Structure 1
Amino acid sequence: MPRRLPIAVALAATAALALSACGTTHENSGQGGSSAGQAPANCKGPSGHYLIGMSQANNAEPYREQMNKDIQNAAKAIPQFEVKISDAAADDSKQVSDVENFLTQQIDLLIISPNEATPLTAVVKKAYDKGIPVLVLDRKVDGDAYTEFIGGDNVDIGRQAGEHMKKLFPNGAKIAEIRGLAGSTPAKERQDGFAKGIEGGNIDIVATVDGDWLRDKGQAQAEAVIQAHPEIQAIYSQNDPMGEGAYLALKAAGKEKTVKVTGIDGLPIPSGGIKSVEQGRLAATFVYPTGGKEAIAAAKTLLIDCKTVPKTQTLPTQLVTKDNAADVYAKANS
């Protein structure tokens, strides 16, 4: 005779299955007082006032500047929210200090986009273990001591970039890769995904350099690569600003018409990657949403609605080429 589960256990299992079936881009897992499956203890509902600390990795990056704006604009619609933003200026120790400072201010929720994963893991866990909901944006920390990760699938974006490179060069090509900050998770994931995407395509990566997500450094690194490898036919840049820097280096060398540059971010702003594709500086980019408005929506769910959020929220991407750039830009700003 089969063993019967107690009614309470059976009901719990049914509820767990129901939760796991909600949506294809979410994963419900985790632990702690503010994890998926349990609303935060400090939820006071619509009558409360909530202090949110946003710890930014580096305001000097256009993508992060836009992320801050998206957070601030979304929060304006929620009168219960007060958002304070700190800038780590690409300094891990300063970002740790920024989060510690937020904790002394007794924030109700932490949003963080880590500069690098490992150095920020302990302080994020400290906040999480205090029962403070933690929303991690764009870049991850080690382990799972956070409430929700919100960001794109960087491995998949890298893979798509690699597959697009194969379409650009069906007979193969010699290319260079400009990576972001080495200790940040998107840099490794976009590199790993790209390597998968170019498999079988006779795409030879003759140089890999680090641009730290910055336009100026991307330009300097591209200048060195062009001198060392004048035969390259394309550059895969892990973000648009480094790609713009690479374009400037190519233009100075008289190669901007013959070497194709692919980026990632696709910000729908005049200085962003979509316009760069439309205007011909980048051959392609991939939209990578900042997650700012989604973070505020999650904060509202946790603090005002007193409901749970999934452990992972994966944001969509889109390939932008010369053919669709104007339309993608118009739709993003409609």
Structure 2
Amino acid sequence: MRRTTIGRSVAALSALAMLAACSTDESLDEPATESAEEGAEGAEDEGSEDGGEEAEGDSDEWFDQADYDEQFEQRSATFEGDPETPWLQYIDGDMTDTSEFASDGAMKVCFSNASIDNPWRQTGWITMNQQLEVLQEDGVISEMETRDAQADDNTQIADIDYFISEGNCDAFVISPNSTAALTPAVERACDTGLPVVVFDRGVETDCPTTFIHPIGGYAWGIDTAEFLSENLEEGDKVVALRILPGVDVLEHRWAAAEQIFEENGIEAVDYFTGADPAEIKNILADELATGEVQGVWMDAGDGAVAAIEAFEDAGQDYPVMTGEDEMSFLRKWEDTGLTGLAPVYSNFQWRTPLLAVEQIFAGEEVPTEWVLPQVPITEDERADFLEANDGMPDGHYAKFGGEDLPGYPDVWQERIIP
């Protein structure tokens, strides 16, 4: 998908098509290796051409002690707002005055999206469009013109420049494909004087009206590496399966985890997989052929089932493992009884940018950095999330937060993707 205009005339979300992704979800087309990021945890969660290669380089270049310490503390922070609507919660901090953007009538939003080429992003995109439907009916947003960069930095830069020069936009929403490359384009959008909402992945500027994201990559890395370290012995081996390099939230996940593994005497070797299930199986098959592997760490859960199946194929005991809140992992985790944790990069964040736009058009203050809750799913909670998401496809994410939106549950079950 390159360009979509979603206005009142298409609120019914008709003529929708499914898109390929790296997924175990049989409701999607054949898996495709992704290219540019997680772009990731991505989101979460995108693939790369670096599949199967042992990672090189020093994660120290991505490690910032102050940010690590901050996110460590934020994991137990008190969030403002109603816990029943976590997509509107935030950690108390600096607020942005948006009174200059107050306006009457429905306004046009221009959305530059990195991609919808993996299950995490597809789940969020569905939720975002259902939230859009509500705001259109409420007369807040007239239309949302979307350009999908298909995980390509240069394409997204061109998309943003198009919106600036020709989009007739009232507000920009941007989910960057990668961190450094998209920074100048985001700054150009800020220079227009219109509100700019950045979410999911960060950029190297503080010019946006608000930057929306869950706590962050360090928190993910801390939660997962502490869990593995607590359930393993000193000297045990962990294979870390990473999507791709160069995206802040993913690099921070690994930088935090690697430090904790080193502190606890856990031997960890990391590989870039491209989120390709075949590559994941090959990597683990090679590791298992040369020795025991006691743990598996992932910086995104897409492909978690393939990792588990690699141990089954080799006739080895299941590892202690961290995946993600994708339904395929939750179900396989329950079926196998392995010792696991489902870290979360809260998928419900896809609602928040449009709700932020609503507040901005009303001239209300918004958090300058809008930090959303990010709480892993533990074994004790797994059954509840499986029950709540019964009937959802494997590529669905348990903490999607769309239960109160129109179309629930059919739109998510049928993977109706605009």
Corresponding pairs, count: 295
Give the alignment's TM-score, normalised by structure 2: 0.64
Instruction: Measure how far apart 1:142 and its partner are.
Output: 1.0
- Over alpha carbons, which structure has the higher Rg? 1
Moved more, 63-72 or 96-105: 96-105
**Residue in 2 that maps onto 1:28:** 94
User: For 1:244-323, what aligned pairs fall within 5 Å after superposition?
Assistant: 244-255=305-316, 257-264=317-324, 266-267=325-326, 271-280=327-336, 283-290=340-347, 291-303=349-361, 305-323=362-380
Structure scoring higher RCO (CA < 8 A, sep ≥ 6) equals 2
What amino acid is the match of 2:206?
D
What amino acid is the match of 2:310?
A
Q: Deviations over 1:190-236 (max 9, x none)?
A: 0122134435322111x211134x2x2x5404522431453221110
Q: Contact 2:220–2:344 at 8 Å: present in 1 too?
A: no
Secondary structure of 2:115's counterpart equals coil
Q: Let me know the Cα RMSD of the aligned residues.
A: 2.6
**Residue in 1 that maps onto 2:99:** 39
**Residue in 1 that maps onto 2:41:** none
- Runs of 4+ in structure 1 deviating by more than 4 angstroms, as ranges, are 21-24, 329-334
Percent sequence identity over matched residues? 23
Secondary structure of 1:300's counterpart equals helix
User: For 1:165-314, what aligned pairs fall within 5 Å after superposition?
Assistant: 165-205=228-268, 207-212=269-274, 214=275, 216=276, 219-228=278-287, 229-255=290-316, 257-264=317-324, 266-267=325-326, 271-280=327-336, 283-290=340-347, 291-303=349-361, 305-314=362-371
Residues in 1 aligned to 2:187 and 2:265: alpha-carbon distance in whole angstroms: 43
Cα gap change, 1:226/1:284 in structure 2, threshold over 3 Å: closer, same or farther?
same
Task: In structure 2, list runs of 5 or more residues that go unmatched.
Answer: 1-77, 81-89, 389-398, 404-418
What amino acid is the match of 1:37?
D
Instruction: Measure how far apart 1:166 and its partner are.
Output: 1.3
Residues in 2 aligned to 1:252 and 1:112: alpha-carbon distance in whole angstroms: 42
Match of 2:117 among 60, 71, 78: 60
Secondary structure of 1:77's counterpart equals helix
Cα gap change, 1:70/1:197 in structure 2, threshold over 3 Å: closer, same or farther?
farther
Residues in 2 aligned to 1:99 and 1:261: alpha-carbon distance in whole angstroms: 39
**Residue in 1 that maps onto 2:162:** 101
Task: In structure 1, list runs of 5 or more residues that go unmatched.
Answer: 1-20, 30-35
